[in-house]
Structure 1
Amino acid sequence: MRVPDGRISGRFGRVEPRCRVRQLVLGLLSDLPRKNCWTIAEHAGGATPDGLQHLLGRAKWDADQVRDDLREFVLEHLADDQAVLVIDEAGDLKKGTRTVGRIENAQVAVYLTYTSRRGHAGIHRALYLPASWTRDADRRERAAVPDTVAFATKPQLAQRMIERALDTATPAAWAAGDEVYGDNPKLRTVLEARGLGYVLAVSCTHRVPTPAGPQRADHLAKRIPRRAWQKLSAGRGAKGHRWYDWALVAITTDDLTGHRHLMIRRNRSTGELAYYHCYSPRPVPLSTLVKVAGSRWTVEETFQSSKGLTGLDEHQVRGWDSWHRWVTLALLAHAFLAVTAALERPEQALADDGTSPDGLIPLTCNEIQRLFTALIVQPARDTAHLLRWSTWRRRHQARARHSHYRRRAALHP
């Protein structure tokens, strides 16, 4: 499989940004312990990070077009009619009061992961802009937030991403997400109108329609007879199958289309309960709903892997466009690792301990990154280059320290 920058090269009209985006993607795929414009530029042999910073902040290219290329790349290799669109948000600790969307030391974004039987990868992202930001004209201007961007809740961002995926013929049968999305009735209504099944976590206070009137989910759970619980696996995890007890309660509504249930999960060790609002256009067995619920963990795996391997959260950018550009390229780099791992995964069934008949675990994203770095990415740099960068960093840090001390002196004369 070719390096992913080749797929998006047509989005850049000039040779300079094409070369720089290749440097950036290869840097994101490298084993650098910290990934930002400084470290990647030094790794690529540049004299300063100015070129990469220009690529992210001022160069003319559309991150949404690259996002569409990312989706097509993932679907080309992982498409599945029974796939699950998994939605979740992630918060990254960020310094700097001018960092776009930052509130309470964190920057929050909503992500969409495409999960199929072949593998999973992130295909969409949306930065959550708090209401305090959308009402502040000065902050919007400093971060170059477009005038067309208005406040949207996380479920609204999720709805837009899912609908865009469906509008672009993304094959999927299900959606999954946590309580933020399951407790939102408008999102559930939109998914049902699109004919997309869902298994969305809900809170214990979630009210479920019954012939006796709306009832809390935790109250209904207390009435489930012992024989109604079934032991089923929510999928294989790092330590083997995730076994839970599960039960279903039918939801009665005036709408005769589709099938709705409250699904309850019970931890076999602690007895802790979790609740899911489920919908399917056609009848499906409990095991199918359990499998969809288990797929929700793939978005967390995507977060962990893309942050650890391709620097999803390590950007040092402040503006609206630069955030979308960095995150899109980081997702593209991670999708390259995820798709490669999926293509190299053996077709035959794995043993209970996750090994294949040859006694090896399947190739992981981590191992593919190590091999890719050793064979493709790793450059050889001379001493002079390393010393020049040491001098550049120290000079830049000296200017930053001087400016910081001067600001503090002005504030506290």
Structure 2
Amino acid sequence: MDRKFAQRKRDLERECQVSHQVFSAAAKRLERFMEPFLTNYRRHEQAAHATTVVRGFCSDLQHKNGESIAYLFGLDRKAIQHFLGESQWQDTPLREELAKQIGSELGEFDGVIAFDPSAFVKSGQQSVGVARQWCGRLGKIDNCQVGIYMAYVSSQGHALVDTQLYLPQEWTSDQKRMRRASVPKARRRHKTRHEICLELLDQHGQDLPHAWITGDDEMGRPSRFRRELRDPDERYLLAVPCNTTIRDLEVPPPPWCGTGRPPQQQSVRVDRWLEERTDQDWTSIEVRDAEQRPLIVEVLKRCVETGKRSLLSVTEEVLVVIRYRDREAKIVKTDYYLSNAEVTTPLAEYCRAAKAEHRVEECLQRAKGQAGLVDYEVRNWTGWQHHQTLCLLANWFLIVETRRAEKKDTCDNIESSAFGNRFDSSKGVRMRFTPERQMADRTTTASQSTSTPVSLETT
């Protein structure tokens, strides 16, 4: 038995060996992948450093900072560190090109744009944007930086599109501190996290065909943010905290005695409102196939009224509640969402959008674990943005390579890159997303069968 096991082990080890030619071909594809991005660099040295840094982010280095990448390729560390932290090259055109490629490769008319803040724990006070603020990674208020990330999700895959560093008020009120951190003048005005999301949406929304905007409960909590999404006719499904107050419009108001003002429905916390629901109010939806058994969630929706009447912010929205059970049928998680979609929207479509909201976490984990998103060693604004931008490019290249290995790339030439296949009309992907087409797509989506919308699964 031991000899057979040893022989089988040797056979498996031989099968796991990868020829160096595989990585050599990948390096050539990386060079072609970088070509549309390198046109934004004025100097040849900058273009060469950008390719080197992206190669380093895609490597198996344990710490993917400028110094480690320089030593990996036998280069002067000061040159790479200066390129990342001080060199005055514009990273915005690179992220714009990235958004166009993601929209071309992954774009579908019913795609989802997801926003999520992500915190980076820091011990000092000199790094740009560092302050005591909520850190989701630790689950408490601590010293950290917070980046606002925009991701795109469709049945073709999911990827990070863009990011921007959040600057707390204690930073924007200290102009001297902002100058020391090399924050551009255009970024020195305080912007809330929700304003940053709207800015990113305005910048890339036309390049990413989508039918939904999603985000976690930090994004969905302010009613103002939901209102500002309704104004440009964006359809959202945003998570909200369990203490959000609602008024159930499907429950008749208390009887009127005939004198005074007619009584109105009282506001109630959404978690307390949920306690009065019965099993008949829930609908089971099969979300995806799992290893042990299909993943089934229970969903309900209700037309509700939100906002304070005294502030004239009353709005009719759709409350969507999704709960999950474990193998013993115990409820392990309950998520609350508010949406401005039509109340006739199928429950399966709400589930599909809710699933996409969780994909941004997978995007961040992949970028942090594979592309060095958290390995930066810079303190100023320029270095943070440069590191993040090149990490997003490396992360996108890894996704392109994965799709190529899984034969999801429809090109005939196996050596081609995402950019070379970008304008292939045979894919049937719409590159621009106009409000007129958005309304037509929504009508089509609402009329589709509920058996297909839940197919948004790429892992």
Q: Which residue of 1 aligns with 2:193?
A: 154
**Structure 2: distance between partners of 1:144 and 1:239:** 52
Q: Which residue of 1 aligns with 2:319?
A: 262
Deviation at 1:148, TM superposition (A): 2.5
Q: Which residue of 2 aligns with 1:64?
A: 92
> Does the CA-based 8 Å contact 1:88-1:111 persist in structure 2?
yes
Q: Which amino acid aligns with 1:219?
A: R
Determine if the alignment matches structure 1 residue 339 to structure 2 residue 400.
Answer: yes
> Does the CA-based 8 Å contact 1:98-1:142 persist in structure 2?
no
Q: Deviations over 1:309-331 (max 9, x none)?
A: 11001000111111111101101
**Structure 2: distance between partners of 1:11 and 1:236:** 44
The 3-state SS of whatever aligns with 1:98 is coil
Segments ≥4 residues shifted beyond 3 Å: 233-242, 252-255, 342-347
The 3-state SS of whatever aligns with 1:148 is helix
**Structure 1: distance between partners of 2:290 and 2:61:** 28
Runs of 5+ unmatched residues, structure 2: 1-25, 133-142, 250-264, 409-459
Q: Which amino acid aligns with 2:322?
A: R
How large is the RMSD of aligned CA atoms in angstroms?
Answer: 2.4
Which of 138, 141, 144 is the aligned partner of 2:179?
141
> Does the CA-based 8 Å contact 1:234-1:242 persist in structure 2?
yes
> Does the CA-based 8 Å contact 1:262-1:277 persist in structure 2?
yes
Q: Which residue of 2 aligns with 1:290?
A: 351
TM-score (norm 2): 0.70
Q: Which amino acid aligns with 2:41?
A: F
Q: Which residue of 1 aligns with 2:82?
A: 54
Q: Which residue of 2 aligns with 1:244?
A: 297
Deviation at 1:252, TM superposition (A): 4.9
The 3-state SS of whatever aligns with 1:91 is strand
The 3-state SS of whatever aligns with 1:327 is helix
Q: Which amino acid aligns with 2:203?
A: R
Q: Which residue of 2 aligns with 1:6?
A: 35
Q: Which residue of 1 aligns with 2:112?
A: 84
> Does the CA-based 8 Å contact 2:248-2:302 persist in structure 1?
no
**Structure 1: distance between partners of 2:192 and 2:89:** 27
Q: Which residue of 2 aligns with 1:392?
A: none
Deviation at 1:164, TM superposition (A): 2.1
Change (3 A) 1:11 1:113: same
**Structure 2: distance between partners of 1:342 and 1:241:** 25
> Does the CA-based 8 Å contact 1:173-1:197 persist in structure 2?
yes
Q: Which residue of 1 aligns with 2:204?
A: 165
TM-score (norm 1): 0.78
Determine if the alignment matches structure 1 residue 323 to structure 2 residue 361.
Answer: no
- Identity level (%): 27
Q: Which amino acid aligns with 2:56?
A: G
**Structure 2: distance between partners of 1:281 and 1:227:** 22
Determine if the alignment matches structure 1 residue 130 to structure 2 residue 168.
Answer: yes
Runs of 5+ unmatched residues, structure 1: 348-413
Q: Which amino acid aligns with 1:164?
A: Q
| TM alignment of 1:305-320, pairs within 5 A | 305-320=366-381
**Structure 2: distance between partners of 1:103 and 1:50:** 29
| TM alignment of 1:6-405, pairs within 5 A | 6-46=35-75, 48-104=76-132, 105-149=143-187, 150-166=189-205, 168-211=206-249, 212-235=265-288, 241-252=294-305, 260-269=317-326, 270-271=330-331, 272-280=333-341, 283-345=344-406
> Does the CA-based 8 Å contact 2:213-2:237 persist in structure 1?
yes
> Does the CA-based 8 Å contact 2:96-2:204 persist in structure 1?
no
